[in-house]
Amino acid sequence: MSVDHPHALESRLVSTGVERLALLGKHAEALMAGYARDEVPLEGLSTTALNRLLAARILWRPDEQGGVKLAPKVRELIAEMLADESRRHVNADVAETLELLRSLVQSYREARDGGEYWRQEQQLLRLRQEVDDLNGRFADAIDSLWRRLNGDFGFVSRLGDKIRENQRAQKQIVRLLDGLALIDFDELIELVGSDGALRKLLVSGLQQQLTQHYTSLREVQRRLVELMARFRQQQSRSRLVAGMAGFLREHPGFVPGNYARRGEVPALVNRAAPLVAAGAAALDHHPDSRVLGELLHRLPRPAPRPQPVTAAGAAAPQEDTLVAARQQALKEDVERFYLAVVDGGEGLSALEFLQQGEYEWSEEIWLFQVIAEFQGLPRSEQRAFRLSQQESQASRYNHVRLIHDVTLQLA
Amino acid sequence: MSEHTPMERSMVEFGPLLERLLAGEFICAVSDEGAFRRLQDDETRERIDAYLRPLNRRLASNDEGSVYFLAWRVLDEAAREQLSRQLGETVASLLPLLEWLQLVQEALGRDGPAAPGEVLKPADFSSRCEDNQGLRERLERLASDPFFGSQSDQLDAQLKQVFKRLREHGYLLQPHADRQYYLVTAKIDYLIDLARFIRDEENLPVDDQAPSGQESLL
C-alpha cells in the first residue's frame, strides 16, 4: 500500500484492528486466567488462535522455553478496566508527548501551507487524540490515586504495605506534577501562532484541563500526606501497645516512679478527684414548695405486698430470733470475761481473753461489746472495775482515735 | 432573672458540661461532640477555668488536645495523696487495658489499636473467638483479670463484663442502652499517652518506631 492511497491505508488498519479486538473477546477467559496467574493456560487454545494472539501482540513469549504471557499493554488495559489498583500503572511521561505534539504541529502547518487539506485534517485529528491521551492519562492517574486513597489502600492488608503503597502514590504525584511543569504555555502559544483551531486545542482547552488536574493532584497529595500521618500514628501506637504490654507481662512487679510527688507534676497525671454536684429538695424557697408537693404526690406508692397468711407470721420473727440469740451468746461470753477478771483478781486484756477462749467473735464486735457491757453496768458496779483503752490517733489531720484493745481490772 | 450576675448567666449554658467534668468524665469529640467543639475555643476555656477556680480545679487536655478533663489547680498534700492513689490504680489497670487493645486489633484484623470513633460490637468478638481457640483463651484470661473481674466461664458473659467495665471507665460509649454496639472514646488516647509517658520516664526498652532502614531498602 503506498502513501498515495491514504484512504486505503486507513481502511486496512480499521479492518485489522476490528479483527484483533475481536480476539480479546473470543479468548477472554484464557486472557483473564493469564492476568490472574503468571502464564496464559494453553489447554483451550488452538495453535492458530495462539499464533493470532501472538501476532496481535496481545500475548508474548519472553523466551523460547518459557510459557506465554500477557503483553504489558494488555495487562495495563485490563487493570485499567477493572480499576485494579494493585496493578494499575500511572504514566507520567509528558516529555515524549510534548515532543510528539511539536512535530505534529510542524506537519500540520506544512500541510496547511501546502494546501493538502486531507493531510491537514489527519494531523489535527492526531493532535486532538494526543491531547486527549495526555488528559486521559492524568485523569486516569488521578482516578487511581483517589480510589486508593478512599479505600485506605485496602487492596493490601498489612499496615507496612499500606505505608509503602502510600509512599509510592506520593512519588507518582511528584512525577505527575513534574510532568505538568514541563508544559510551557508560552512555548505552546508561540508554537500555534495565529491558527485558531490549534490555539483552542493546545492553549485555552489544554490550559483549563491541566489547571484542573493540578488542583486535583495537590488535593490528593495533601490527603495522602494526612493519611500517611494516620498510618504512622497507627503503626507507632500498635508497636507501643504491644511493646508495653510485653514489658509489663515480663515484669509483673514493675512500679513506675510516683509522679504525683514530684515538684512539677506531669500534666497527664494531674487528674482532679471526681466531685458530685449533689442537690436535695429544699423548702426554704416558697415558690418551689408547690412543685415539690406535686412531685411528692406523683411518687409511686409502694405497692401493698400481698400477705401470705400462713408464712408471714413465722418467717420474720424467725430471723429476729436468730439475731437475738447471737446477741445473747455474745453478751454471755463477755460476762464470762468479766467473771474471769473478778475470779482472777488481775487485769486482763479483752483480746487475749478472746483468743485464748477460742471464741468465734470478730475482734471489733468483741471490744465493742466489752465496752458496752461496762457502760451498761449500774454506776455502783461500774466503780468496782477499771477499764483502760489502748488507743492511737487515726491520722494527723483529725481527732479520730482507734481503740486497739481494752484491759479490764478490779478497781 | 435579674438576680443573676452576667457571669452566672453566661455560665448557665455550661451547667451540664461542668457537671460531667466535675464528676471526673473525659470530654472528647465522641463522648460529647458539641461540648468538645466549644472547649476548643480559648475564651470558653478561660471562662470555665475562672468558674472552677474556687473548686481548685482547671481544665486540662492531652498533648493533641483530643480529650479534656479536670486537673487540680494547686497541688496541696491532699491532692498529691489522691493523685498517687489514682496513679497506682491506673498503672494496675494498664496491662489489662493494653492487652485488650491488642486483642481487639488482632481479633478484628485492624491496622492499629482501637482509635476514637471506631465501632466495636461484642457480637464480632464472639464470632471470632468461636472460630479461634487462641483468641478465646486470651479473652478468658483477660476477662478474669481483677480489672475486668468476670466470674463467668461463658464467652458472652465474659464479653459483656469486659464491655461493661470499659464503658464504666469511659473508654467506650454505648449510644443506645438496648443496642450492643459501642464507640471508642478519646480517653483511649489518654491511656496511650500515659503508656508512652511511663515508657519515656522510666526509659523502658520499648520501641514504637519502625526499624530504621526498612524504607531505604525498598
> pLDDT tens across A89-131, in order?
777 788 888 899 999 999 999 999 998 898 999 899 999 999 9
pLDDT at A212 over 50: yes
Query: Tens digit of pLDDT for each residue in A217-275?
Result: 999 999 999 999 888 888 899 999 999 999 999 988 888 888 888 888 888 889 999 88
Residue of A100, A87, A86, A103 lying closest to A134 (CA atoms): A100
Domains of chain B plus CATH, in order, are 6-72 (1.10.10), 81-202 (1.10.10)
CA end-to-end span of chain B, whole Å? 70
Q: Which of A231, A267, A277 sits opposite B19 (nearest CB)?
A: A277
Question: A161 touching B, CB under 8 A?
Answer: no
Q: Above pLDDT 90, what percent of chain A?
A: 22
Distance from the B175 Cα atom to the nearest Cα atom in chain A, whole angstroms:
23
- pLDDT at residue B67, as a whole number: 94
Residue A41 DSSP one-character state: -
Domain that holds residue A108: 83-249
Of A213, A234, A249, the residue that ends a domain is: A249
| Residues A236, A88 within the same domain | yes
- pLDDT at residue A43, as a whole number: 87
| Residues A361, A386 within the same domain | yes
- pLDDT at residue B2, as a whole number: 47
| Residues A230, A137 within the same domain | yes
- The burial class, CB within 10 Å (0-12 / 13-18 / 19+), for B11 is middle
Q: Which of B60, B190, B196 sits opposite A240 (nearest CB)?
A: B196
Distance from the B22 Cα atom to the nearest Cα atom in chain A, whole angstroms:
5
Query: Tens digit of pLDDT for each residue in A354-369?
Result: 888 777 888 888 888 8
| Residues A49, A89 within the same domain | no
pLDDT at A180 over 70: yes
Contact B113, B184 (CB under 8 A): no
How many structural domains is chain A composed of?
3
The nearest alpha carbon in chain A to B101 belongs to A241
Rounded mean pLDDT of B108-127? 88
A277 versus B160: the higher-pLDDT residue is B160
Of A32, A54, A82, the residue that ends a domain is: A82
- pLDDT at residue A333, as a whole number: 86
| Residues A238, A354 within the same domain | no
pTM here is: 0.62
pLDDT at B6 over 70: no
Contact B156, A205 (CB under 8 A): no
Residue of B17, B37, B13, B15 lying closest to B26 (CA atoms): B17
For residue B183, what pLDDT band results from cuts at 50, 70 and 90? very high
Residues B41, B13: Cα–Cα separation, whole Å: 15
Residues A177, A211: Cα–Cα separation, whole Å: 11
- pLDDT at residue B165, as a whole number: 93
Q: What is the residue-averaged pLDDT of chain B?
A: 87
Query: Tens digit of pLDDT for each residue in B59-96?
Result: 999 988 999 999 999 988 888 999 999 998 899 899 99
Rounded mean pLDDT of A64-93? 83
Q: Which of residues 58-87 of B touch A (CB under 8 A)?
A: 60, 62, 69-72, 75, 79-80, 82-84, 86-87
B199 versus A318: the higher-pLDDT residue is B199
Contact A266 B197 (CB under 8 A): yes
Secondary structure of residue A96 in the 3-state scheme:
helix
| Residues A68, A93 within the same domain | no
Q: Which of B94, B112, B196 sits opposite A234 (nearest CB)?
A: B112
| Residues A131, A51 within the same domain | no
Contact B75 A164 (CB under 8 A): no
Q: Dihedral, CA atoms, A92, A97, A99, A104, nearest 10 degrees? A: -170
Question: A154 touching B, CB under 8 A?
Answer: no
For residue B217, what pLDDT band results from cuts at 50, 70 and 90? very low
| Residues A131, A219 within the same domain | yes
Does residue A297 sit within a domain?
Answer: no
| Residues A87, A75 within the same domain | no
| Residues A28, A98 within the same domain | no
Contact A267 B70 (CB under 8 A): no
Residues B132, B155: Cα–Cα separation, whole Å: 12
| Residues A88, A234 within the same domain | yes
Question: B54 touching A, CB under 8 A?
Answer: no
A140 versus A300: the higher-pLDDT residue is A140
pLDDT at B1 over 50: no
Does residue A285 sit within a domain?
Answer: no
Q: What is the residue-averaged pLDDT of chain A?
A: 84
Distance from the A127 Cα atom to the nearest Cα atom in chain B, whole angstroms:
39
- pLDDT at residue B28, as a whole number: 93
CA atoms within 13 A on the CB side of A103: 5
Of A229, A249, A269, the residue that ends a domain is: A249
The nearest alpha carbon in chain A to B68 belongs to A271
| Residues A218, A125 within the same domain | yes
Residues B174, B181: Cα–Cα separation, whole Å: 6
Contact A234 B24 (CB under 8 A): no
Tell me which amino acid residue A37 is.
Answer: R
Residue indicated by cell numbers 496511650 = B192
Task: Check the CA dihedral A57-A62-A67-A70 and report its sign.
Answer: negative
